[in-house]
Structure 1
Amino acid sequence: MSDLLDDNTETSQAIPFRFTRLYVSLLVILSVLLTAGQIVTQWRLSKVQNEILFIRYTAIQRHQSQQIVKQALQMADAIDQAHFQTNKMQLRAVFVDFERHYLQSRAGRMSEMNITQENSDTVQQLYRAVQPEFLAFKRGVNQLLALRSMADVKTPQAKAGLTLLQNNEAPLLRKIDGIVQRYNSELRTRLHQLQTIELYLYGFTILMVLAIGLLIIRPATARLRQTIAQLIEAESRTKAANYQLRAANQSLKETRQQLFEATRQQHKREIDEQRMRTSYLITGQEEERKRLSRELHDGLGQMLTAIKLQLEGLEGLMRRQNRASVVGETGKPAVSYDRNMVNLKQLVTQTIQEVRAISNDLMPTVLSDFGVLPALKMLAESNRTNEVDITFETSCVHHMEGSLRLQKDVEIMLYRVTQEAISNALRHGRPKHIVVELVERDDYIHLIVTDDGRGFNQKAVADGCPEKEFSDRETPSQGLHNIRERAELLKGKLNITSTLGKGTRLRVSIPNQMQFARYDID
């Protein structure tokens, strides 16, 4: 067995293959022995049960023989014919059962229980010895059953039959007792054999269990102790390695977290810097627009106004000179001078209006002086024409009355977005109605511009192919890009819904917190 274990020492298996094969073989042998012992035991027990039934079957014949003699005597002592017939019928029934039991026991079979047993030679000799008494019993019973009335009991035939029964009753009982005792003796012998077989099987099983303990369990225990010791040592090494790995993993996680945080902070700084540059750029644009508006209004506007005044003074002077001179009856030079002067005045007036319109578009004074609500209302009215109806609606009046107004950059953003949205709608949508709404809802200020124009393909614009929908030099995507940039600067959200042939709905939502500032109005 030690060689068997040594052959597999190098395999690093808990239980070597040969060891396992031997263990399985011993278990199979033990199982076979137990199964065989159980089969033999059950078989012998069934035989013993059959023998017990045969003993009971044979013992019943003693009682039946006594009943036969009893019924015969009662039949001879009958007091009337009815009592005679009753005892006669009972005698016939008891003898039929006695004869059936005797013949079946002798033949070794019980038809009622479908049991067959081979009688030993000794039992067969005993049955042959009891045969004369059985035949005498049978003749005596037949003689009594041949009687027809109670008067026949006194006949020699009846007396002879009753004498046969009485004379053979004791020998019959004695011989049947001998058969029963022989059955009991043979049964005890078989039980003793069964006990001996069980004892041998038990002893062999104990030996097999001891062999398994000595040849398998003991070496397996030693091998398991060795394996457990190796496992404990390996577990200790694994724990140390796991501790190092966890420390390295934790360090790696911290480094990765730091790198991620540094990357996130850098990205945030880049976004903030980009937003700040864009904010500075837009602020610079607004300041430049304001400067240009002021210069156009205060500089060029004043100069044009002065030119107009000079033209009006020159026109009066020329009229006085024309009236003082004599040109002729028709006065053609005066008419020519008047017409040219009128055209020149109209041109200067149109130029002044155009300069004022450009100045107002660059930076409307109503926005800086009175806030976004009047500015949006004036923007809607200034762009309203006979073909396009533009209306402005708001629910924010109670927040923006008096000196409480939105912050300057918010007002400029709302005004520029509305200006861009109306411009896009007029240029590309060809609408009949445009509605500008400024509402406060869900902690947001919402600017909504809706038109019933022809709409556009949002996917085409998003994919950068607006030329599929528009042939204008400036496409909606450029204006929408400007609007989106302005909204993102104030952490706002832009939502556009457009359906071809049904119009466009643009909504810009900015957070409502800290969006109000107090202005001092003189």
Structure 2
Amino acid sequence: MNNRAKESIDKITFKKLRRLYLFALLTIAIMVALSQILIQYNLKSQLSDSRIINISGKQRMLSQKLAKEVLILNFVTDTTKKNEEVIRINEILSLWKSTHYNLEKGNDILGFPKEKSTNITQLFASIKPHFDTIVNATSQFLDNIKRGKNLNKNQKLVQTILENEGDFLLKMNQIVSEYDKEALDKVTLQRKTEYVIFGFTLLVLLLEFLFIFKPTNHKVEKLISKLLLSEKKALELAYNTEIISEIKENSVKELKSLNYAMENTLLYCRVAPNGSLIHIGEKFSKLLQYNPFISDKTFSQVLTPIEKEQLIIDRIISEKHRSGWQGEINITNRNGESLWLDLSMVPVTIKKEESELLIVCFDITERKKAEQEVERLNTENVTDKINQQKIISSRIVENQENEQNRIAKEIHDGIGQMLTGLKFSLESINLDDKEKSAQKIEYLKKLSLDIIKGVRTATFNLMPPELSDHGIVSSIAKLTQELSKLTGKNILFYNKTNFDQRLDSLIEINIYRLTQEAINNAIKYADSTHIIVQLSHSNSILGITIDDNGKGFDVNAVEKKRNSESGMGLLFMKERIQYINGRVFINSIPGEGTRITFNIPI
């Protein structure tokens, strides 16, 4: 009878929790729906407010435009233009009148409310005399123009329009300000309403946690304790009772099936609060290479033979046997192998003054090994990247030094010597001997042209003026022409899609240097006689392709030789193209030639 009464109480309790849970969900759903309805209503109202403010602002513009057109018409003498002005003023006046009446009286189609606040109603009442005066004066003015009569009165009508137009603008500004203030009040009210709904929703969630989830958790813990207690009693009856009824035998079979499933699928055991082992699962005992029939061992001694690791496990059980614990531990098995376990320790109450710990583990050794391997590979990749950057940095510094030495040598050996010769020639001119002076002056002119050419060549190598003046197309065309003249090789450039856009200066200089590097490599290493540079583009990609008929190379073999000059050249290309978010494709066949393609987003 007592058991039935307890079951009945449990059913009533769970039904009550279910009703409370459904009530909480329904409350949250209602609050969310109410919040959405209020938000949508306020958004619709705000859209109407913004439209009204916009139209009210246009009314000011229309009044100014009307006054302006009336002034213009007053001074127009040409009959054709006068008729056009009359039509334009009639259109403006009609639009101005209809809009004003819709704002004042309301219009459901346009979304203008018929009900207005007291302030706006008063403002429309105060603006009405000025509005009516402007409308009447404009109508009389146009009527006089059409009939060609009473034209002497038009000047007074124009003056009347201008006098009332200023007052109309002032009142209209007040109306727009009042509409804006009311719209702001609506937004503020909506914000407060949403805060109230949000606070109420949080309160419902808190109450749901306190009165639904927490009691449910308590019920589940008690259910687990009951199941463990039932298992213990069933095992005692199985070992100590010789005659078991058919019903009890079926119960024992079910418990054995459940126990078998746990033994062979879970790494679990039961431990007393003092650390002694009560029971260990078969799968767990196989993993630890422990004989489950030995009962004089503690849980820490079963896990590991290492004393230091046993002390750590005993300390965890001693400190956490009441509150429970979950974490990862590293142990050493009896073969000296390292094992990682994800261990969960749950305190279970058996009786009022008797409790034990249910420990469930997962073998995460392979995962840890994988994590360590990933960490090792990441460390190697970082180290390799740092070494590459060091090599790149040293090569950049070396190339800068070589370029500076080359420029200095060109200036010293070429331009410097020519300037020295120019100086000596100027000093040797004898103005008394006009014939020799004329010859020397001609020589000096030629020498000056050579100096200018040398300076232009040096500056072209540093930064071609075409790049900053005309863009990447002109600079690449100039580059191919100059290199073709200097090397004697057939270097051609084709702008296939007539690309003529200007790009960011940083992108243009990188594209130029990449193209220059590819052509120089084809000249220096490929022994090619023909080099073709092609430029094409789409809406989002600029493509540059450099083809040569040289000796080609094995791309994979060169990329592996990072310390070689050719390997570093390819690495520099990839680093530079990545700097401008582009991509490089290198295709080469030994003995046939090489194609390098740069794709840059534009």
Q: TM-score range by the shorter chain?
A: 0.3 to 0.5
TM-score (norm: length of structure 1): 0.42
TM-score, normalisation: structure 2 = 0.37
- Higher helix fraction (1 or 2): 1
Higher Rg: 1
Relative contact order (C-alpha < 8 Å, sep 6+): which is higher? 1
